[in-house]
Structure 1
Amino acid sequence: MLGEMEFRSDEVAPADRFDHWREQVAGSFMPMEVRSEYAGDFAVSQRILDLGAVRLRTTEHSPMTVRRTDRLVRRSDPGYYHLSLAARGSTKVVHPDGDARYDEGDLILMDTSLPHHVEMGGGASREQVLGMGLFVPRELLPLPANGVGKLVNRPMSGREGVGALLAQFLTQVCRDSVSYQPADGPRLGTVALDLVSTLLAHTLDAEGTLAPETRRRALLLRIQGFIQHHLADPDLTPAMIAAAHHISLSYLYRVFEDEEATVAAWIRRQRLERARRDLADTALRTTPVHTIAARWGFPRAADFTRAFRGAYGVPPATYRNEIRGATR
């Protein structure tokens, strides 16, 4: 399991919850003023995952405003860029260079060295706000500081392109955190940093400033995301993937050189794993095996049976029966 800190307001006496939350905010990252119209009945849960030099935070909370003033910046500055993803509820960032509002699926970059305040939720709605934030030491971004500075307080899409890939990656890390080992944390942090760097460089149209290895890893993640999205397409081939990413087939193979599997083997492994999950799903117990096989890119039942047996040691029908017997 990854290193993790968690705070839940329901573990604190109601009268003390908001004060404890303010202390938690200041102690977790940096001094901030915290205010809320719902201080008397405040609800919040927060998780902070340790990804090496990078920290990933998810927070679900009542509407609130956090303020970082010049005085607080002078008192303590951890030297982070904070990339925030709005998962539920709208957010407004008030900044000396202009305000920015971002909605669900948007990403926004903030700098802990600059004063700002952020209004999360509120208005006519008391809906819980859900957000995710990645804290990255400034010196780790392989981009010119003056270029990154142009992106501060500028909303970017987390619904398409590299932004969507980053949002999906962070969401999956949070969802599957218990399945990782502590040693995986720094590796996941490196992937997160590569994706953030690629997103910012793409937005700046400056991808040439990234190190070749960073570009290769980011491209690999984009390709793997593309494959996951098209697994059901029986025409998914290395040639089709290369064309979709405007690269040569030989370069696609080089991208996968340092991986444990070739691109074709990676596709097959992902398809088999999706099929295996469906076979174990009790909600699909009446769906024929060949239908599940075709759904995940195996139009020939014999080919699926042979591949499944090779991967898991038993035919798919036997696997399904064994799973049913184990769950009775």
Structure 2
Amino acid sequence: MIQTVVPMDMSTDQADDFQASMRVLELGAVHVRPTAFQPMRYHRTPRLIRQSDPELLHMMFVARGTVGVVQAGQETTPGPGDLSLVDFSRPFDSHAINDWGLVKAVGVAVPKEMLALAGDGVNKLLGHRISGREGFGALLAQFLTRVTTDTDSFQPSDGPRLGTIVLDLVSALFAHELHADNALTPETRRRTLTLRIRSFIQQHLADPRLTPRAVAAAHHISLSHLHRLFKEQDLTVAAWIRHQRLERARRDLTDPALCHHTICQIATHWGYTRAADFTRAFRTHYGVPPRDYRHKALGTQDETHR
């Protein structure tokens, strides 16, 4: 922690048999660190700040346990699903606990110079708990969870682009919490709106009424504006919805835990009202009917198990 984050005084009651792990994902100038560790205390003192001050803001998403933080005269105790902000250039105290195992969290270190809202505005967020269950907090939490658990889907060359997404989400979260949306650049507003729309689509794939027009209405934008947002993507809005539905259905078809569900039930669950439409779309996209695809996938798994 001292070598990869900033110098801190650290202590724990489990020093004789301390368990911890940490990975560092370097996404350009943004660093994301999934961590798991036994209860511990850590402090950032004025002496340590004089020793090393990389001018970083640190956002933490707590997955398990609680991570109490005292900074700038404010105290908060974020629990599972919460976010909190720490300024590494200022002293703070923290106490992480979990009575049922390891504390698990994901930290995000962002250079202050990269945030338009860094400064007095952000200081108002120090020592305050921010929800990671709704709005931009939920988007950031979901993205951090995925990028740290689904690393096989990304290449090293994706790092800077993923860092830009994290930076946009952090900036948008700060702006929302401080009621300062006008401080965001047009590019950041456009990218974060696109992320919100993608998240909305993924959450409503089971609704057969999910159409580009419904998506635009839910976000209070015109249909033409929605199409412009997706113009830089490889797929149109309607094609992206179809692709997401087919991919979710494909995963369910190959899941042994769902083998008692019929193909029609799985298709209906992901927004297809007619089995024939699903079969035709699946065969066009994957080259085989869903029944054959499922039989081959589950048959191969049975052979492997035997």
TM-score (structure 1 length as normaliser): 0.89
Alignment partner of 1:167 out of 131, 136, 141 = 141
Question: For residues 257 and 134 of structure 1, what CA distance do their matches in structure 2 show?
Answer: 30
Query: Structure 2 vs 1, CA of residues 83 and 278 (structure 1 numbering), >3 Å: closer, same or farther?
Result: same
Question: For residues 275 and 131 of structure 1, what CA distance do their matches in structure 2 show?
Answer: 31
Verify: 1:317 aligned to 2:287, yes or no. Answer: no
Question: For residues 267 and 120 of structure 2, what CA distance do their matches in structure 1 show?
Answer: 52
Amino acid at match of 1:105: G
Give the alignment's Cα RMSD to 1 decimal. 1.3
Alignment partner of 1:152 out of 116, 119, 126 = 126
| 2:57–2:111 CA contact under 8 A, matched in 1 | yes
Question: For residues 139 and 300 of structure 1, what CA distance do their matches in structure 2 show?
Answer: 53
Question: For residues 185 and 96 of structure 1, what CA distance do their matches in structure 2 show?
Answer: 33
Pairs aligned (count): 302
| 2:71–2:86 CA contact under 8 A, matched in 1 | no
What whole-Å deviation, never above 9, does each CA across 1:99-153 have from its counterpart, x for those lacking one? 222211111111110011111116xx36321111000011111225221222122
User: Match of 2:159, SS?
Assistant: helix
- What does 1:7-26 align with in structure 2 at a 5 Å threshold? 25-26=1-2
Partner of 1:8: none
- What does 1:214-293 align with in structure 2 at a 5 Å threshold? 214-293=188-267
User: Match of 2:128, SS?
Assistant: coil
Amino acid at match of 1:83: M
| 1:35–1:64 CA contact under 8 A, matched in 2 | yes
Question: For residues 29 and 72 of structure 1, what CA distance do their matches in structure 2 show?
Answer: 12
Partner of 1:118: 94
Alignment partner of 1:62 out of 38, 42, 60 = 38
Partner of 2:18: 42
Partner of 2:68: 92
Amino acid at match of 1:143: L
User: Match of 1:86, SS?
Assistant: strand
Question: For residues 96 and 185 of structure 1, what CA distance do their matches in structure 2 show?
Answer: 33
What whole-Å deviation, never above 9, does each CA across 1:165-221 have from its counterpart, x for those lacking one? 100000000111133111011111111110000000111111111111111110111
Amino acid at match of 1:116: F
| 1:29–1:78 CA contact under 8 A, matched in 2 | no
Partner of 1:33: 9
Identity %: 53
| 1:62–1:126 CA contact under 8 A, matched in 2 | no
What whole-Å deviation, never above 9, does each CA across 1:257-305 have from its counterpart, x for those lacking one? 1111111111000000011111111222232211111111111111111
Partner of 1:13: none
Partner of 1:109: 85
| 2:49–2:90 CA contact under 8 A, matched in 1 | yes
| 1:280–1:320 CA contact under 8 A, matched in 2 | yes
Partner of 1:196: 170
User: Match of 1:195, SS?
Assistant: helix
Structure 1 residues without counterparts, runs of 5 or longer? 1-24
**Runs of 4+ deviating beyond 6 Å:** none
Query: Structure 2 vs 1, CA of residues 144 and 126 (structure 1 numbering), >3 Å: closer, same or farther?
Result: closer
TM-score (structure 2 length as normaliser): 0.95
Query: Structure 2 vs 1, CA of residues 320 and 77 (structure 1 numbering), >3 Å: closer, same or farther?
Result: same
Structure 2 residues without counterparts, runs of 5 or longer? none
Partner of 2:187: 213
Question: For residues 299 and 243 of structure 1, what CA distance do their matches in structure 2 show?
Answer: 22
What whole-Å deviation, never above 9, does each CA across 1:5-35 have from its counterpart, x for those lacking one? xxxxxxxxxxxxxxxxxxxx21112110001
User: Match of 1:153, SS?
Assistant: coil
Question: For residues 38 and 136 of structure 1, what CA distance do their matches in structure 2 show?
Answer: 31
